[in-house]
């Protein structure tokens, strides 16, 4: 492997691991399992209108501007700094909403070891989320970095092995002719286009696909990217679709939709499978493995979004106090602000009448904010194709300008559909009245975006800001 790496850079296998590691998560399975056999249609639809377009566009942009990679620089090159600030803010602030969902999944998984009923206890969930996130923030303030090897171990033990196990258990369940909670008729598998509530499931599916652009920045480390990247992309899409569809169906096989917990549904399904197969002794082991995977995922994400926001700060759009780094080279004040925001957002678990309702609200809100960023990404990609036609692109979307238009429009269609249906609460999840949900949801979006306009009004002196960042840290953030 080392000999090959020296010659060819990142291998196809390594690139596939980077892509799937950014997206594939056992945490997403309960939310998608809610929609029964129709989830197969939505997964394929989402792959065509979002997953593939995001990967292709990000790969071409990362290859064209390797020293100015990332959503902030891409949008700034296409339009201007203000729109770029909005884009990077959306990418950062959506993670503030995302953290409580992944941490609530972690807390729900831990509850399976202690007392399964705790998974529906709001006080327990909020307390576990806050304690875990603040602890991880304090660790990161010390400058502790998790190595790629540790991250890979977390992915293998916390995602690949549990995902494979639940798929195998479901396959045995199906072959043995055990009763299923869903049906595979044409009526059940194809959504009714006349009922808008059937499209609400698209939010959960899209949420499961967020993040493909994060791995695309490695395209310049690949030998012959025109051949290697499409191959890795194909393998990644197949792997992600297979594991997500089969994993979601595994939960839908054994749990009725009205009994699936978005926080602990995965462990519910494991418990049912293992009980039937007289393997209950495996449940604590599986629980610990899933916890390790979730813990590793959170550690890897706490600092990265903050580094992206610092790019905007270098152009004077953040106050100097948020630019300061501690002795470990970490933007400590920004991480503390991040933890405070996450603590406030956790109150959403107290605003909804059920844990599932709170989980869905945060998932929906995070997805909507991220989708707004993707709209800017696809628009920037199309515009840059004409604004900088002579720019060298080691990786190019097949079809030239026409290919970019096809991919860009497909991505925009997927984003716009998700943005529209996101305002409608799903059936089967207790979110209170439709009016209550829409008021809280709309207020959440406004509150998350409002600070950008404040930064527009009060722009700080660029030189003052840049002086707060030493050269060493500035170079590390630009990598």
Instruction: Give the three-class secondary structure for 434.
Output: helix
pLDDT digits (tens, 9 = 90+) for 207-220: 778 877 766 656 66
pLDDT of residue 99: 79
Residue 479 has pLDDT above 50, yes or no: no
What's the pTM value of the predicted model, to 2 decimals? 0.78
Predicted confidence band at 406 (pLDDT cuts at 50, 70, 90)? very high
pLDDT of residue 139: 74
* Position with higher pLDDT, 82 vs 122: 82
Instruction: Give the three-class secondary structure for 1.
Output: coil
Using CA atoms, how far residue 422 sits from 192, 200, 252, in Å, is: 17, 7, 22
CA distance 435 to 223: 53
* Position with higher pLDDT, 2 vs 274: 274
- We find that the CATH architecture of domain 2-478 is Up-down Bundle (1.20)
Residue 454: CB atoms within 10 A of its CB come to 8
For residues 78-101, one letter each, b for 16 or more C-beta atoms within 10 angstroms of the residue's C-beta and e for the rest, the string is: bbebbebbbbbbbbbbbbbbbbbb
Instruction: Give the three-class secondary structure for 9.
Output: strand
pLDDT digits (tens, 9 = 90+) for 291-316: 887 776 676 567 667 766 776 776 77
Predicted confidence band at 476 (pLDDT cuts at 50, 70, 90)? very low
pLDDT of residue 7: 38
Predicted confidence band at 264 (pLDDT cuts at 50, 70, 90)? confident
Q: Maximum distance among all alpha carbons in the chain? A: 69
Domain boundaries, the chain: 2-478
Q: Read out DSSP for 202-217?
A: HHHHHHTTTTHHHHHG
Q: Read out DSSP for 366-400?
A: HHHHHHHHHHHHHHHHHHHHHHSTTS--SS--TTH
CA distance 214 to 212: 5
pLDDT of residue 216: 61
Predicted confidence band at 478 (pLDDT cuts at 50, 70, 90)? very low
């Amino acid at each position: 492997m080392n000999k090959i790496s020296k010659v060819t850079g990142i291998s196809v296998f390594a690139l596939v691991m980077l892509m799937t590691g950014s997206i594939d998560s056992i945490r997403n399975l309960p939310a998608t399992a809610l929609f029964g056999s129709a989830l197969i249609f939505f997964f394929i639809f989402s792959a065509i209108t979002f997953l593939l377009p995001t990967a292709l566009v990000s790969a071409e942009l990362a290859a064209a501007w390797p020293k100015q990679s990332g959503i902030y620089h891409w949008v700034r090159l296409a339009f201007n700094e203000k729109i770029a600030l909005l884009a990077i803010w959306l990418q950062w602030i959506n993670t503030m909403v995302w953290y409580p969902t992944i941490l609530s999944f972690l807390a729900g998984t831990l509850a399976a070891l202690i007392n399964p009923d705790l998974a529906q206890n709001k006080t327990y969930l909020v307390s576990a989320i806050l304690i875990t996130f603040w602890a991880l923030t304090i660790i990161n303030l010390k400058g502790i970095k998790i190595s790629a090897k540790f991250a890979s171990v977390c992915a293998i033990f916390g995602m690949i092995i549990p995902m494979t196990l639940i798929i195998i258990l479901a396959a045995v369940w199906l072959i043995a002719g055990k009763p299923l909670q869903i049906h595979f008729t044409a009526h059940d598998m194809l959504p009714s286009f006349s009922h808008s509530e059937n499209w609400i499931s698209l939010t959960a599916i899209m949420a499961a696909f967020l993040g493909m652009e994060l791995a695309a920045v490695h395209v310049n480390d690949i030998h012959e990217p025109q051949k290697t990247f499409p191959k890795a992309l194909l393998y990644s899409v197949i792997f992600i679709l297979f594991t997500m569809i089969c994993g979601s169906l595994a939960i839908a096989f054994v749990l009725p939709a009205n009994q699936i917990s978005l926080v602990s549904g995965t462990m519910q399904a494991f418990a049912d499978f293992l009980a039937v197969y007289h393997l209950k002794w495996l449940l604590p082991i599986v629980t610990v493995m899933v916890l390790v995977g979730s813990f590793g995922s959170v550690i890897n994400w706490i600092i990265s979004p903050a580094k992206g926001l610092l790019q905007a700060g270098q152009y004077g759009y953040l106050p100097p106090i948020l630019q300061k780094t501690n002795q470990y080279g970490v933007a400590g004040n920004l991480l503390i602000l991040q933890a405070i925001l996450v603590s406030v957002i956790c109150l959403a678990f107290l605003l909804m009448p059920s844990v599932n309702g709170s989980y869905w609200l945060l998932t929906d809100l995070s997805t909507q904010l991220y989708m707004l960023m993707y709209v800017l990404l696809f628009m920037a990609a199309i515009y840059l194709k004409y604004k900088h036609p002579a720019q060298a692109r080691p990786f190019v979307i097949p079809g030239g300008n026409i290919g970019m238009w096809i991919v860009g429009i497909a991505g925009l269609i997927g984003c716009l559909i998700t943005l529209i249906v996101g305002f409608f609460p799903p059936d089967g999840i207790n979110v209170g009245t439709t009016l209550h949900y829409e008021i809280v949801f709309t207020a959440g979006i406004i509150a998350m975006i409002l600070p950008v306009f404040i930064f527009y009004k009060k722009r700080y002196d660029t030189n003052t800001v840049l002086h707060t960042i030493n050269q060493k840290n500035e170079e590390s953030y630009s990598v």
